[in-house]
Amino acid sequence: MARMALLDDIGCPDDVRKLTTQQTEDLAEEIRTFLIDNVSRTGGHLGPNLGVVELTIALHRVFDSPHDPIIFDTGHQSYVHKILTGRAAGFDKLRQRGGLSGYPSRSESAHDWVENSHASTSLSWAEGIAEGFLSRGEDRTVVAVIGDGALTGGMAWEALDSIADQQDLRLVIVVNDNGRSYTPTVGGLANQLAIIRTDPHYEEALDRMKRHVTEKPLGKQVFGLMHAAKAGVKDALIGNGIFSDLGIKYLGPVDGHDVSSVERALELAKRYEHPVIVHVMTTKGKGFAAAEANEEDHFHAVGQIDPKTGESLKAAGGASWTHAFAGAMVELGERRPDVVGVTAAMLHPVGLAPFAARHPERVLDVGIAEQHAVTAAAGMAAAGLHPVVALYSTFLNRAFDQLLMDAGLHHAGVTIVLDRAGITGTDGASHNGMWDMVICGIVPGLMLSAPRDRQHLISVLDEAVDTDDRPTVIRYSKAPMPDDIPVVSSHDGLDVLREGSEDGILVVAHGQLCTDALKAADSLDVPVRVVSPRWSLPVCEGLLEEASRAHAIISVEDGLVVSGLGSHLADALSERGVWRPIRNLGIPQRYLDHDSRSAIMAELGLNAEGIAEAVAQLASQLDTQ
């Protein structure tokens, strides 16, 4: 790559502070070129970072990181921050084993205070850190950069309410207002921010008032009243009191692509030494024509792409679980007027967009608010609808109480469809969908299915929307959907995928891992019987019968092995007074470093080779007993 005159000499924020205003503008262009060139090769969150280039430069010129913590929410906006804090050289291995994380990472740099990969948490972190500094008498300012839809999350507003009562805190809240999360941000808050973004009269009126007042006798004294007048004018002109009503000082809106303007606002906020909101307007995908023209998500996250055209360079893979679900939902919508879709700012990523195109009045996008999504769905069920809530698996974690106490306790007929369940890989520990089966297993009466192919997915989705007395959950992988797997026989909720001695080794496979389990069985000389339940929870009668006859059992699942599906099977057998050797293959109870999905699965022994090795070891142990 050609030398970048300024960027190549940036090793820490001190280097950024030495630049002239013109140099900061040149640096911004170099950073955009750097991002496009590098992220197009590795994949990652391109659009959000192109939008915060000038903002991040200004942050590091005004504040002294890491002495002054800068917390990014959501954390995928932190690429420019990484570049300015000495990590540019690591971008050739972004989101790869041994390379940079796609989110802030404390193991990478002291400049990363919080590994903030789930949205709407930064303000709580920031208040807590600022409270700690205040208690210790430390002269430090905390900065929280919240945007890309994160203000639609309820936790952010809980924090704002609390911060408003803590006026001694040195806390600057930067609202990065790009009008979007994955797609255009929805909700009343978004509408209010849009009013501020688009009304030209606000700053014009203030400027006229300032000039008129200061030209008069006693003008300077009168101008001292402007602070109070400003809030009144703002509310009168644009009808917006969302921040002033909280009692937090508000500055803006500011052009987020003008380094000097952002610097001035941040300097004022820092000098104030109390909680301040700085409202910065940015454009997602700024400076990359293909991203700016992409109306769906402005290249929110990309795989490998052409750095000039933005076209994907990834060869077409197998069938997609998301695409199969999308088609099934459209068909359901035609047959079932009571079926509605619910999502949390991810209409396109989870596959609800085709359903929404057909039935726009039957889709609720709640923003980044999974808790609200699940409880609202329970309310819809109480009113006679059957909601299908589509989320990424990792985000169900945030709605556990609502699943347990609102959907579960009320026996609500709610279906939750979890995309990207199991190992996702490159986004790191927070985004692996490894917790959902443990969470769901706690909810009394809940039904959970991990479909193994398209036919299985469609059939359990049909059953789920026919279930009106309990929540149902369907989970599937990020990996390509396998071809339909032939079923040898079925009984009592269990499908037999491969014949074998009924009193030999029984392999119980769930979801995506059925294909690997069959490959493993075919590679062995040991007689292995492979079965897969239609619904993994509760444990079906057919599985209990098969397990009771087997000599030993191996459970194969792509979820947390502790309290996972194998554990549920062992507990159910124990209640019947049946003991069998059970080896549970799954994800260990630890946070996993970012890497490709295939590499992590191989490391955990959750591919065909690993499953075959586990079966062979168990068979050998049985032979020696």
Say which of 32, 270, 284, 534 is annotated catalytic.
Answer: 284
Q: In what order do the strands lie in the sheet with 171-177?
A: 70-73, 142-147, 171-177, 276-281, 249-255
Query: Does 550 show up as a binding residue in the annotation?
Result: no
Between CA 344 and CA 153 the distance in angstroms is 10
Between CA 225 and CA 177 the distance in angstroms is 29
Say which of 54, 108, 292, 370 is annotated catalytic.
Answer: 370
Q: Identify whether 314 is a catalytic site residue.
A: no
Query: Does 613 show up as a binding residue in the annotation?
Result: no
Say which of 234, 286, 398, 478 is annotated catalytic.
Answer: 398
Q: Which residues contact 244 (CB under 8 A, 6 or more apart)?
A: 231, 234, 235, 250
Between CA 46 and CA 50 the distance in angstroms is 6
3-state SS class at 350: coil
How many C-beta atoms lie closer than 10 Å to residue 255's C-beta?
15
CB distance 527 to 504 below 8 Å: yes
Query: Does 118 show up as a binding residue in the annotation?
Result: yes
* Selection from 534, 351, 340 nearest residue 447 by Cα: 534
Query: Does 148 show up as a binding residue in the annotation?
Result: yes
Query: Does 397 show up as a binding residue in the annotation?
Result: no
Write the DSSP symbol of residue 481: B
Query: Does 411 show up as a binding residue in the annotation?
Result: no
Query: Does 425 show up as a binding residue in the annotation?
Result: no
Helix (H) or strand (E) holding 415: strand 415-421
Q: DSSP string covering 252-309, please?
A: EEEETT-HHHHHHHHHHHHHH-S-EEEEEE--TTTT-HHHHH-TTTSSSSBSSB-TTT
CA 280 to chain centre: 23
Query: Does 149 show up as a binding residue in the annotation?
Result: yes
Between CA 516 and CA 319 the distance in angstroms is 17
Long-range contacts: 442-446, Cβ < 8 Å, 24+?
442/404, 443/403, 443/404, 443/407, 443/408, 443/471, 444/408, 445/408, 445/411, 445/470, 445/471, 445/538, 446/403, 446/408, 446/470, 446/471, 446/472, 446/473, 446/537
* Selection from 28, 117, 44 nearest residue 80 by Cα: 28
Tokens matching residue 494: 């269990």
Q: Identify whether 398 is a catalytic site residue.
A: yes
Residue length of the chain: 625
Q: Identify whether 41 is a catalytic site residue.
A: no
Rg of the chain (C-alpha set)? 27
Between CA 457 and CA 39 the distance in angstroms is 34
How many C-beta atoms lie closer than 10 Å to residue 333's C-beta?
20
Annotated binding site for Mg(2+): 148, 178
Binding-site residues for thiamine diphosphate sit at: 76, 117-119, 149-150, 178, 288, 370
Residue ranges for the known binding site are 76, 117-119, 148-150, 178, 288, 370
Give catalytic residues, as residue numbers: 284, 370, 398
